[in-house]
Amino acid sequence: MNALIDRISKAYDEVPYTSAAFTVSAPEHLRAVAHLFGLDAPVPERARVLELGCAAGGNLIPFAVRHPGAEVVGIDLSPVQIDIGRNLVEAMGLKNVRLIQGSIADVGQELGKFDYIVCHGVYSWVPEDVRAAILRVCSERLTPDGVAYVSYNTYPGWKAKEIVRDAMLLRAGDRAAARERLAYARGIIEFLHEQAKQGTVLSTVMGEHIDMIRDGEDYYLSHEYLELCNAPCYFKDFVSDARAQDLEYLGDATVATMFASNYGTAAAPALLAECGGDQVVLEQLLDFLQNRTFRQSLLVHADRGAKIRYQLAAERIANLHVAGRYAKDDTGANGMVHWTYTGGATVSTYSPVTSEVIEQLNAAWPATVPVAELLSTCSEGDTDRVLELVTNLIVGNAVRFRSEPVVPGTLGDKPAVRPELRKLAAAGDHPVVLFTEWHQPAKVAPMERFLLPLLSGDVDAEQLVGAVQQAVEQGGLRVTRDGETLTDPIEVLASIRGQVNSALDSLAVNAMLCASPVKAEAASATPVGKSVDKASPKPAKAANTKAAKPTAKTEAPAKPAAKPEAPASSKPSRPPRGKK
């Protein structure tokens, strides 16, 4: 191992990266994007998936859990992270995951070929020879109809971020301990933020970054800004390096970023005229327009390039399964209805057809609805409008889409969570983040965390209330209102019941339940009514759950944790790499 690689490995051993599902890198999503742009890609159920720089496997494990017939392999330099991952894989009983400690540079034909290769948050942070190896492995190890995903920091956005990184590196100097380096590095950004002359480039850059430097998690800042290597590049240069390895650009994992129409009616025609039909030139121009800092590019073998179609074809849209959740605002003038997608985009419409489709999606959430079903249920003559609507939702980043249905569980009498997820939730402190059926990282509230290991599909809400009551009686949890511990048994029970119900609702709406009870043995999930202490992990210290009454809470009696957990399950636990 050369000295630089050795130092990178030690940096991740010292401060392991929080390892989480990254939604748009899910092979199911890559297949759907390929489909959208005219290419068929392997079915996920039996796919072989390789992740380069997998850390502790947090992006591979959710896929392996969803598809026991698939085979996933991860490779990472850091022995500490690989050990954490292996222990969790064993604890979860996963037989289809292999985590290898080693360098991407050494990957050869011994691993075989893969239908999907994912490399998230690595390319820009490794030396040039490893960057070349990432593209080489994508080219050599991808099956003929496979899809690779590579994310990286980009210019021009990173030009400004480099000022931040350079200042932080200067101040961190050659201090050895990661924590100390970061403390010093943060200090100079505070100083520059205070002292920069108003109206200068420096003051703008510091103003844009100060909150993230103050509030960002240590692991993220250490690796994003103080990493030994950070080599952002222009998108066009990335594509040119990929082409040199016989790969072709397929599209961006967030497809909405690829369409000029999303950048305003003034800019779009000029951009389209300028790029002359060249998608790479168009997207490079768009990167300038948005000062883009981060990309997630999908690659295929060069010989498939001629089949890629960026014009979205109705027959391909009709084959998709779509899902979305929208808030309704019908207070607009003249019957205008505004539907706001959870991702942020708003659909404003007078059309009953549009509202009917969105209501169908809302009713099905978090499951998908086949576009074919939307078409078959709309009035005759409206099919073109429905197809156009679905196309616009995809282009506008206002719907999720897949080639196969996604069917998370509904609440029912006895809610169920996959046994592997229950075991992961029960495994205590580790850097692998819980996940949803939509391949999202899930940060759960303490009551949800308490309940997760118990949701075997064999217990109903009242039994869960009993388990919480027992934990309260045994001193493992306490129920509070305005900081005071509740003691009146009737109040305690009412509070617990409310909290259990709202936690179950939250798990359901955030796609953490599974479709049908999976009865595999869950080692750490002791039957409800035995010992709650053994059956469930300790709830995160003093982080409050949602209360039935606004001020009543259930808490662990331990001392407060430094950082309470955020309550929203579907909220990413960290920003996408490079996007903070």
Ligand X SMILES: C[S@@+](CC[C@H](N)C(=O)[O-])C[C@H]1O[C@@H](n2cnc3c(N)ncnc32)[C@H](O)[C@@H]1O
Binding site for ligand X (CB under 6 A): 5, 8, 12, 17, 19, 53-55, 75-78, 81, 103-105, 120-122, 125-126, 130, 223, 577
**Which two three-digit tokens encode residue 134?**
């990432």
Q: Is 195 exposed, middle or buried (0-12, 13-18, 19+ CB in 10 A)?
A: exposed
Contact 181, 15 (CB under 8 A): no
- Tallying the residues shown for the chain, one arrives at 580
Report the residue number, 130 or 447, with the smaller CB distance to ligand X.
130
Question: How far is it, in rounded angstroms, from Cα 231 to Cα 123?
Answer: 8
Choice between 1 and 313, CB closer to ligand X: 1
**HSE of 461 in the Cβ direction (CA atoms, 13 Å)?**
14
- Rounded Cα distance between 87 and 547, Å, is 35
Supply the minimum distance, in Å, between the C-beta of residue 76 and ligand X: 4
DSSP type of residue 365: T
Nearer to ligand X, 149 or 365 (CB): 149
For residue 52, the minimal CB distance to ligand X (Å) is 6
Pairing of strands 48-52, 71-76: parallel
Q: Which is nearer to ligand X, 125 or 365 (CB)?
A: 125
> If 0-12 CB within 10 Å is exposed, 13-18 middle and 19+ buried, where does residue 109 land?
exposed
CB of 51 to ligand X, least distance (A): 7
Smallest gap from Cβ 106 to ligand X, in A, equals 8
Closest separation in Å from C-beta 16 to ligand X: 8
Which is nearer to ligand X, 429 or 521 (by Cβ)?
Answer: 429
In the complex with ligand X, the residue whose CB is nearer, 75 or 88, is 75
What is the nearest approach in angstroms of ligand X to the Cβ of residue 423? 21
Contact 367, 352 (CB under 8 A): no
Instruction: Count CB atoms within 10 A of the CB of residue 288.
Output: 14
Q: Least CB distance from residue 216 to ligand X, whole Å? A: 14
| Least distance from ligand X to the Cβ atom of residue 11, Å | 8
Question: Is-cis flag, bond preceding 127, omega within 30?
Answer: no
Closer to ligand X by Cβ: residue 77 or 528: 77
Alpha-carbon gap, residue 197 to 185, rounded angstroms: 20
SS3 call for 48:
strand
**CB closer to ligand X, 132 vs 375:** 132
β-bridge pairing 441-442 and 434-435:
antiparallel
The CB-of-56 to ligand X minimum distance in angstroms stands at 8
Could you tell me if 450 and 504 are in contact, meaning their C-beta atoms sit under 8 angstroms apart? no
CB count in 10 Å sphere of residue 354? 21
Query: Judged by CB, which is closer to ligand X: 55, or 367?
Result: 55
In the complex, the smallest distance separating the C-beta of residue 127 from ligand X, rounded to whole angstroms, is: 8
| Nearest CA-CA partner of 18 in 492, 495, 514, 429 | 429
* Of residues 178 and 394, the one with the C-beta less far from ligand X: 178
Residues 6 or more apart whose CB falls under 8 angstroms from that of 54 comprise: 19, 60, 74, 75, 76, 85, 99
* Tokens standing for residue 174: 């050659």
Position closest to ligand X via CB: 53
61 exposure class (CB count in 10 Å sphere: 0-12, 13-18, 19+): buried
- The label of the residue with tokens 């292999």 reads 98
| Nearest-approach distance from CB 244 to ligand X, in angstroms | 20
Gyration radius from the chain CA atoms: 25
Q: Give start and end residues of each alpha helix (H) in 378-530.
A: 383-395, 419-426, 446-451, 461-473, 489-509
In the bound state with ligand X, the residue whose beta carbon lies nearer, of 21 and 512, is 21
Minimum CB separation of residue 75 from ligand X in Å reads 6
How many angstroms separate the CA atoms of 205 and 215, rounded?
Answer: 16
Count CB-CB contacts under 10 A for residue 368: 24
Contact 256, 262 (CB under 8 A): yes
Q: How far is the CB of 17 from ligand X (least distance, A)?
A: 4
Nearer to ligand X, 54 or 320 (CB): 54
Q: Which is nearer to ligand X, 128 or 413 (CB)?
A: 128
Strand ordering across the sheet containing 346-349: 326-329, 337-341, 346-349
Report the SS3 class of residue 415.
coil
Q: Closer CB to ligand X, residue 131 or residue 209?
A: 131
- C-beta of 577: minimal distance to ligand X in Å? 5
